[in-house]
Amino acid sequence: MIEGKLALVTGSTSGIGLGIARALAAKGADLMLNGFGDAAAIEALRAELAREHGVRVDYDGADLSRPTDIEALFARIAQSGRAVDVLVNNAGIQHVARTEQFPVERWDAVIALNLSAAFHATRCALPPMQQRNWGRIVNIASTHGLVASVDKAAYVAAKHGVVGLTKVVALENARTGITCNAICPGWVLTPLVQKQIEARAAAAGIGTDEARIALLSEKQPSQEFVTPEQLGELTVFLCSEAAAQVRGAAWAVDGGWTAQ
């Protein structure tokens, strides 16, 4: 189904995005990787994915917190004679602080990347998808798109916004071959969460192992992390024909977090 199609996975140089990119490439999708990091490491990753899966893999370092960068990224793809068939809006950042102390600049940065980038990429991706009457948009929201936690005003607002955006785009394209869904992961052990574990360990004067267990125990009943590989396989399913009538869903993958 996605063999030979082009998948743009934002923030795919690390963590969940990389897991999703790997899973899509394993099914034969060509990739446009995106994200920050060491140039040599990214090139090694690009070459490894292409070699391992026999697909075309390109990389674009667009800063998705800037709408003009997103437009330029889609213009470059169009200039290469291709169009995005599968858009995975994944790039995201976190900042943790009480609302009354939340730095305004961090609020703007989290909203720009975690919410507005998904809107800008979606509006750029849709017209060519509509011309071809096929497309898959998968938004990586979060458990925090469904419920809240303290100290995460910008993140929770952005992720709830992404779930809302997902529903609107799904409805506007309901009579087409374009679907739009959100995945809402609980804790996944990536650099984004590792930073929170280290901050928690420092604040409580405990080791990182203890902080990791405390973090899981507080919210995630399975007490196991969700993996990027599991989220990759779910994304592959959402891109399949079997998922053609999954539209506007916010699919929890959270070890039972939101069942409580």
Q: Compute the distance between CA of residue 55 and CA of residue 47 in angstroms, rounded to an integer.
A: 10
* CB of 159 closer than 8 Å to CB of 205: no
* CB of 10 closer than 8 Å to CB of 18: no
- The identity of residue 230, as a single letter, is Q
Is 39 among the residues that bind ligand NAD (CB under 6 A)? Answer: no
- The identity of residue 65, as a single letter, is S
**Using CB under 6 A, which of 13, 122, 166, 220 touches ligand NAD?**
13
Nearer to ligand NAD, 105 or 241 (CB): 105
Least distance to ligand NAD, CB of residue 45, Å = 10
Least distance to ligand NAD, CB of residue 108, Å = 12
Bridge partners (DSSP) of residue 184 are: 252
Is 193 among the residues that bind ligand NAD (CB under 6 A)? Answer: yes
**Using CB under 6 A, which of 6, 32, 65, 170 touches ligand NAD?**
65
Q: Is 59 a catalytic residue?
A: no
In the region spanning residues 205 to 244, those forming contacts with ligand NAD, defined by CB under 6 A, are none
In the region spanning residues 82 to 121, those forming contacts with ligand NAD, defined by CB under 6 A, are 90-93, 113-114
Nearer to ligand NAD, 69 or 134 (CB): 69
Q: Measure the N-to-C terminal CA separation of the chain; round to a whole number of Å.
A: 36
Cα 145-102-206 angle, rounded to 5 deg: 80
Both tokens assigned to 70: 């997103």
Nearer to ligand NAD, 83 or 115 (CB): 115
Q: Which of 155, 187, 225, 257 is catalytic?
A: 155
- The identity of residue 40, as a single letter, is A
* CB of 229 closer than 8 Å to CB of 248: no
Is 142 among the residues that bind ligand NAD (CB under 6 A)? Answer: yes
- What is the SS3 assignment for 135? strand
**Using CB under 6 A, which of 34, 116, 166, 173 touches ligand NAD?**
34
Of the candidate spans 122-130, 168-176, 181-189, 199-207, the one that interacts with ligand NAD by CB under 6 A turns out to be: 181-189
State residue 25 phi and psi, 5-degree precision.
-65, -35
Q: At what angle do helices 117-132 and 67-79 cross, to 10 degrees?
A: 30
Least distance to ligand NAD, CB of residue 133, Å = 28
Of the candidate spans 6-14, 70-78, 123-131, 201-209, the one that interacts with ligand NAD by CB under 6 A turns out to be: 6-14
* CB of 234 closer than 8 Å to CB of 251: yes
DSSP H or E stretch at residue 250: strand 250-253
Least distance to ligand NAD, CB of residue 176, Å = 26
Question: Which residues are known to be catalytic?
Answer: 155
Residues in touch with ligand NAD (CB under 6 A):
10-17, 34-37, 63-65, 90-93, 113-114, 140, 142, 185, 187-188, 190-193
